[in-house]
Amino acid sequence: MFALYRSKYPDGQYETVFDFVKGAYVGKGMETIVDVWREPEVFMRGTWKELADGKWEGIKYRFVNGVHPHEAKSFTLIVESEILTVLSHPSCVGLGKIGLDYHYTRSCCQTSSNSVRPSATGSH
Above 80 in pLDDT, residue 29? yes
Same domain, 49 and 17: no
Same domain, 24 and 59: no
The amino acid occupying position 5 is: Y
Same domain, 11 and 42: no
The amino acid occupying position 36 is: V
24 DSSP assignment: H
pLDDT for the residue numbered 98:
56
Same domain, 35 and 7: no
Question: What CA–CA distances, in Å, run from 53 to 45, 56, 92, 106?
Answer: 15, 9, 11, 32
pLDDT for the residue numbered 104:
54
Same domain, 66 and 92: yes
Same domain, 55 and 88: yes
Q: What is the pLDDT of residues 104-116, one digit of tens each?
A: 555 455 555 555 5
How many domains is the chain partitioned into structurally? 2
pLDDT for the residue numbered 123:
41
Which segments of 1-124 are extended strands (E)? 32-37, 60-65, 92-95
Give the dihedral sign, CA 74/96/92/29: positive
Of 29, 26, 47, 25, residue with least CA distance to 38:
47
Domain that holds residue 23: 1-30
Q: What is the pLDDT of residues 73-100, one digit of tens each?
A: 888 889 888 888 999 999 999 887 555 5
